[in-house]
Amino acid sequence: MVSKKQIKRFKATVGLKIMDNRSLMLRPLSLNMKDSVYMHEAVAPKIAGLKNALVSVLMAARNVESYIRESIESVLKQNYPYFELLIMEDGSSDKTWQIIQEYRHSPRVRVFRRKHRGIATTRNELVRLSAGEFIAMHDSDNIMLQGKLKTQTRYLMKNKDVGVVFGNCLVLDDPFFLRGHTLSKTYSQIMRHVSA
């Protein structure tokens, strides 16, 4: 059962800029997967009857051609296999949509495109389209560190009274600077540096 406090947090979170771009994950208001709009056939059999929860990773994208490929790859490389990635392109004027389309045949990825309506409207639409028991917001210019989905999902599954979790973030500038060190824009090099 979702508490009134969780509903208040959910309403305050979705539709607004999400928690300073930290790695947010939350429990949606409807926890019934039968009410979902759509679930990929390739993902659904893997979760049927298992004690693992499906996570819907939601990515709104607009004019991020320089970052979106690494952002998508960082989600697809997660060590928690029970997720879907929904990407909605929100009226970009660069090559963001062409890059997103490269992933449309992945069994875990669903892509959408529309005229520009803004980040809040885009995120709310992605929540409506999601099939997961949990929602993970992920900005299209962010990199998801390995283990994020696994760690946060397990915490939410063990703590049914918790509605929202989020982790800290590492701020990377262009060209990716982290703690005074210049990094290449490849996910693997960033992961090696962060893990050290």
Q: Residue 168: what pLDDT?
A: 72
Interval 108-141: pLDDT, tens: 999 999 999 999 999 999 999 999 999 999 999 8
- Outline where DSSP puts E strands in the chain: 23-26, 55-61, 83-90, 109-114, 134-137, 164-167, 177-178, 181-182
User: Scanning the structure block, which residue is given the tokens 């949990």?
Assistant: 134
* CATH assignment of the domain containing 125: 3.90.550.10
Q: Residue 189: what pLDDT?
A: 54
CB burial of residue 171 (10 Å; 0-12, 13-18, 19+): exposed
What is the token pair recorded at 38? 């759509």
Range of the domain at 39: 4-168
Q: Is 80 a domain residue?
A: yes
What is the token pair recorded at 145? 């560190």
SS3 9: helix
Q: Is 194 a domain residue?
A: no
Q: Residue 167: what pLDDT?
A: 79
Q: Which residues of the chain have pLDDT under 50?
A: 1-4, 6-22, 29-50, 179-187, 194, 196
Q: Is 180 a domain residue?
A: no
Q: Is 112 a domain residue?
A: yes
Interval 23-41: pLDDT, tens: 556 655 433 333 332 333 3
The tally of domains found in the chain comes to: 1
Q: Is 176 a domain residue?
A: no
Q: Is 83 a domain residue?
A: yes
State whether the Cα torsion 100-104-106-111 is positive or negative: positive
Q: Is 11 a domain residue?
A: yes
Q: Is 137 a domain residue?
A: yes
Phi first, then psi: give them for residue 82, nearest 5 degrees: -95, 70
